[in-house]
Amino acid sequence: MSERPFMQLYVSDFVGDTLQLSTEQIGAYMLLLMAMWNAGGGLPDDDARLARVARLPLKRWRAISAELLAFFERESGEIGHKRLTKELSKARLKSEARAAAGARGGAATALKTKAHAGANADVLMRHSPESRNQMEKAPAFSAREARERPGTSIGGEATSGSRGPQKPQGWIRPKTHSDAANAIIEEIRGYDHGRTAAGDEGAGGNVLLLPAIRPD
Protein backbone atom coordinates (compact mmCIF):
# COMPACT_ATOMS: atom_id res chain seq x y z
CA MET A 1 0.00 0.00 0.00
CA SER A 2 1.23 3.50 -0.75
CA GLU A 3 2.50 5.68 2.10
CA ARG A 4 0.00 8.25 0.81
CA PRO A 5 -3.31 6.35 0.73
CA PHE A 6 -5.33 9.18 -0.78
CA MET A 7 -4.73 12.02 -3.24
CA GLN A 8 -6.42 15.35 -2.79
CA LEU A 9 -8.56 16.24 -5.82
CA TYR A 10 -10.00 19.73 -6.20
CA VAL A 11 -12.95 18.82 -8.37
CA SER A 12 -13.96 22.32 -9.50
CA ASP A 13 -10.40 23.20 -10.48
CA PHE A 14 -9.91 19.91 -12.28
CA VAL A 15 -13.12 20.18 -14.29
CA GLY A 16 -12.40 23.82 -15.19
CA ASP A 17 -8.83 23.09 -16.29
CA THR A 18 -9.71 20.11 -18.50
CA LEU A 19 -12.67 21.43 -20.46
CA GLN A 20 -10.72 21.16 -23.71
CA LEU A 21 -9.77 17.49 -23.16
CA SER A 22 -11.67 14.53 -24.50
CA THR A 23 -12.94 11.74 -22.29
CA GLU A 24 -10.00 9.61 -23.40
CA GLN A 25 -7.53 12.34 -22.56
CA ILE A 26 -9.10 12.98 -19.13
CA GLY A 27 -8.80 9.27 -18.30
CA ALA A 28 -5.14 9.25 -19.36
CA TYR A 29 -4.50 12.46 -17.41
CA MET A 30 -5.96 10.98 -14.19
CA LEU A 31 -3.90 7.79 -14.60
CA LEU A 32 -0.74 9.85 -15.01
CA LEU A 33 -1.52 11.94 -11.91
CA MET A 34 -2.19 8.86 -9.76
CA ALA A 35 0.98 7.11 -10.93
CA MET A 36 2.97 10.26 -10.26
CA TRP A 37 1.49 10.53 -6.76
CA ASN A 38 2.50 6.97 -5.90
CA ALA A 39 5.95 7.50 -7.43
CA GLY A 40 6.66 10.49 -5.17
CA GLY A 41 6.13 13.31 -7.68
CA GLY A 42 7.76 12.34 -10.97
CA LEU A 43 7.57 9.99 -13.96
CA PRO A 44 10.11 9.23 -16.70
CA ASP A 45 9.71 11.49 -19.73
CA ASP A 46 9.50 8.53 -22.08
CA ASP A 47 6.63 7.94 -24.50
CA ALA A 48 6.69 4.16 -24.21
CA ARG A 49 6.49 4.24 -20.38
CA LEU A 50 3.89 7.01 -20.28
CA ALA A 51 1.75 5.12 -22.82
CA ARG A 52 1.80 2.08 -20.53
CA VAL A 53 0.80 4.24 -17.53
CA ALA A 54 -2.06 5.75 -19.56
CA ARG A 55 -3.01 2.23 -20.79
CA LEU A 56 -2.88 3.29 -24.40
CA PRO A 57 -1.09 1.93 -27.45
CA LEU A 58 2.08 3.91 -28.12
CA LYS A 59 0.71 5.20 -31.41
CA ARG A 60 -2.48 6.46 -29.76
CA TRP A 61 -0.53 8.00 -26.89
CA ARG A 62 1.60 10.00 -29.29
CA ALA A 63 -1.56 11.20 -31.05
CA ILE A 64 -3.10 12.70 -27.87
CA SER A 65 -0.11 13.41 -25.61
CA ALA A 66 0.69 16.93 -26.86
CA GLU A 67 -2.31 18.47 -25.08
CA LEU A 68 -1.80 16.31 -21.97
CA LEU A 69 1.88 17.10 -21.49
CA ALA A 70 1.02 20.81 -21.49
CA PHE A 71 -0.26 20.26 -17.90
CA PHE A 72 3.14 18.93 -16.77
CA GLU A 73 6.62 20.31 -16.29
CA ARG A 74 9.39 18.54 -18.21
CA GLU A 75 12.88 18.63 -16.75
CA SER A 76 15.96 16.38 -16.49
CA GLY A 77 14.30 13.41 -18.17
CA GLU A 78 11.20 13.50 -15.95
CA ILE A 79 7.79 15.06 -15.96
CA GLY A 80 6.27 16.65 -12.85
CA HIS A 81 3.12 18.51 -11.85
CA LYS A 82 3.25 21.73 -9.85
CA ARG A 83 -0.08 21.30 -8.03
CA LEU A 84 0.59 17.64 -7.29
CA THR A 85 4.06 18.43 -5.90
CA LYS A 86 2.51 20.98 -3.52
CA GLU A 87 -0.06 18.48 -2.26
CA LEU A 88 2.63 15.83 -1.80
CA SER A 89 4.61 18.20 0.40
CA LYS A 90 1.55 18.90 2.55
CA ALA A 91 0.84 15.18 2.87
CA ARG A 92 4.42 14.47 3.96
CA LEU A 93 4.29 17.17 6.64
CA LYS A 94 1.03 15.80 8.03
CA SER A 95 2.41 12.27 8.05
CA GLU A 96 5.57 13.35 9.89
CA ALA A 97 3.52 15.33 12.43
CA ARG A 98 1.29 12.31 13.13
CA ALA A 99 4.35 10.06 13.51
CA ALA A 100 5.99 12.49 15.94
CA ALA A 101 2.80 12.80 17.98
CA GLY A 102 2.48 9.02 18.09
CA ALA A 103 6.07 8.67 19.29
CA ARG A 104 5.54 11.25 22.04
CA GLY A 105 2.32 9.55 23.11
CA GLY A 106 4.00 6.14 23.15
CA ALA A 107 6.90 7.44 25.26
CA ALA A 108 4.53 9.13 27.72
CA THR A 109 2.46 5.95 28.03
CA ALA A 110 5.59 3.86 28.61
CA LEU A 111 6.78 6.21 31.38
CA LYS A 112 3.35 6.22 33.02
CA THR A 113 3.14 2.44 32.88
CA LYS A 114 6.63 2.10 34.35
CA ALA A 115 5.79 4.51 37.18
CA HIS A 116 2.57 2.64 38.00
CA ALA A 117 4.40 -0.69 37.95
CA GLY A 118 7.03 0.63 40.34
CA ALA A 119 4.42 2.06 42.71
CA ASN A 120 2.41 -1.17 42.68
CA ALA A 121 5.52 -3.24 43.35
CA ASP A 122 6.39 -1.02 46.31
CA VAL A 123 2.87 -1.30 47.74
CA LEU A 124 2.86 -5.08 47.34
CA MET A 125 6.27 -5.35 49.00
CA ARG A 126 5.24 -3.21 51.97
CA HIS A 127 1.94 -5.06 52.44
CA SER A 128 3.07 -8.61 51.76
CA PRO A 129 2.93 -11.03 54.74
CA GLU A 130 6.61 -11.90 54.35
CA SER A 131 7.65 -8.25 54.58
CA ARG A 132 5.53 -7.68 57.69
CA ASN A 133 6.93 -10.83 59.31
CA GLN A 134 10.49 -9.72 58.59
CA MET A 135 9.80 -6.29 60.10
CA GLU A 136 8.28 -7.84 63.23
CA LYS A 137 11.05 -10.40 63.64
CA ALA A 138 13.92 -7.97 63.14
CA PRO A 139 14.13 -6.72 66.79
CA ALA A 140 13.97 -10.27 68.18
CA PHE A 141 16.67 -11.46 65.80
CA SER A 142 18.86 -8.52 66.73
CA ALA A 143 18.62 -9.40 70.42
CA ARG A 144 19.29 -13.08 69.73
CA GLU A 145 22.31 -12.28 67.59
CA ALA A 146 23.63 -9.99 70.31
CA ARG A 147 23.40 -12.80 72.87
CA GLU A 148 25.18 -15.22 70.54
CA ARG A 149 27.93 -12.81 69.39
CA PRO A 150 31.06 -12.99 71.57
CA GLY A 151 31.96 -9.80 73.45
CA THR A 152 28.50 -8.25 73.16
CA SER A 153 25.94 -7.70 75.89
CA ILE A 154 22.21 -8.44 75.65
CA GLY A 155 21.49 -4.78 74.93
CA GLY A 156 23.82 -4.87 71.92
CA GLU A 157 26.54 -2.78 73.64
CA ALA A 158 30.15 -3.90 73.36
CA THR A 159 31.72 -5.30 76.56
CA SER A 160 35.00 -3.99 77.89
CA GLY A 161 37.01 -6.66 76.03
CA SER A 162 35.30 -6.24 72.66
CA ARG A 163 36.36 -4.15 69.73
CA GLY A 164 32.83 -3.66 68.35
CA PRO A 165 31.49 -0.21 67.42
CA GLN A 166 30.23 1.95 70.28
CA LYS A 167 26.58 2.99 70.26
CA PRO A 168 25.90 6.73 69.97
CA GLN A 169 24.96 8.64 73.09
CA GLY A 170 21.26 8.39 73.88
CA TRP A 171 20.83 5.12 71.94
CA ILE A 172 18.00 2.95 73.29
CA ARG A 173 17.90 -0.79 72.63
CA PRO A 174 14.76 -1.80 70.68
CA LYS A 175 12.12 -3.67 72.64
CA THR A 176 11.97 -7.42 72.04
CA HIS A 177 9.45 -10.19 72.64
CA SER A 178 11.45 -11.12 75.78
CA ASP A 179 11.02 -7.61 77.14
CA ALA A 180 7.26 -7.77 76.61
CA ALA A 181 7.00 -11.20 78.31
CA ASN A 182 9.08 -10.07 81.27
CA ALA A 183 6.91 -6.98 81.71
CA ILE A 184 3.76 -9.14 81.81
CA ILE A 185 5.42 -11.49 84.34
CA GLU A 186 6.34 -8.63 86.66
CA GLU A 187 2.83 -7.21 86.42
CA ILE A 188 1.29 -10.59 87.40
CA ARG A 189 3.70 -10.95 90.32
CA GLY A 190 2.88 -7.48 91.61
CA TYR A 191 -0.84 -8.24 91.30
CA ASP A 192 -0.45 -11.48 93.33
CA HIS A 193 1.64 -9.73 95.99
CA GLY A 194 -1.10 -7.16 96.42
CA ARG A 195 -3.79 -9.84 96.80
CA THR A 196 -1.63 -11.70 99.35
CA ALA A 197 -1.18 -8.55 101.40
CA ALA A 198 -4.95 -8.06 101.38
CA GLY A 199 -5.49 -11.59 102.72
CA ASP A 200 -6.83 -13.11 99.52
CA GLU A 201 -6.57 -16.93 99.87
CA GLY A 202 -6.52 -17.38 96.06
CA ALA A 203 -3.48 -15.15 95.65
CA GLY A 204 -0.47 -16.76 94.05
CA GLY A 205 -2.37 -18.84 91.49
CA ASN A 206 -1.52 -16.49 88.66
CA VAL A 207 2.15 -17.23 89.12
CA LEU A 208 1.48 -20.65 87.59
CA LEU A 209 1.01 -18.87 84.24
CA LEU A 210 4.55 -17.54 84.21
CA PRO A 211 6.27 -20.52 82.48
CA ALA A 212 3.77 -20.35 79.63
CA ILE A 213 4.31 -16.64 79.16
CA ARG A 214 8.11 -16.65 79.32
CA PRO A 215 9.36 -16.70 75.70
CA ASP A 216 12.43 -18.81 76.37
pLDDT tens readout for residues 72-94: 999 999 999 999 999 999 988 88
Quick check: 216 pLDDT over 70? Answer: no
Is pTM beyond 0.85? Reply is no
Q: For residues 7, 13, 19 and 24, what is the CA-based torsion angle, rounded to 10 degrees?
A: 0
Mean of all residue pLDDT scores within the chain:
78
pLDDT at site 130? 65
Ranked by mean pLDDT, which of 62-76, 93-107, 174-188 comes out on top? 62-76
pLDDT at site 1? 45
Query: Which of the two residues, 196 and 131, has the higher pLDDT score?
Result: 196
Instruction: Tell me the pLDDT tens digit for each residue of 138-176.
Output: 555 555 555 655 555 544 455 555 565 677 777 777 778
Query: Which of the two residues, 183 and 146, has the higher pLDDT score?
Result: 183
Cα 144 from Cα 138, distance rounded (Å): 10
Quick check: 68 pLDDT over 60? Answer: yes
Query: Which of the two residues, 11 and 174, has the higher pLDDT score?
Result: 11
Phi, psi of 152 (to 5 degrees): -130, 140
Query: DSSP string covering the chain, please?
Result: --SS------HHHHHHHTTTS-HHHHHHHHHHHHHHHHTTS-EE--HHHHHHHHT--HHHHHHHHHHHHTTSEEETTEEE-HHHHHHHHHHHHHHHHHHHHHHHHHHHHHHHHHHHHHHHHHHHHHHSHHHHHHHHHHHHHHHHHHHHSTTB-TTS-B-TT--PPPPPTT--PPP-HHHHHHHHHHHHHHHHHHHHHTT-TTTTGGGGGHHHH---
178 contacts 143 by C-beta, under 8 angstroms: yes
Paired strand residues for 73: 80
Report the range of poorest mean pLDDT among 3-17, 42-56, 171-185: 171-185
Torsional class of 79: left (φ above 0), alpha (ψ -120 to 50), beta (otherwise): beta
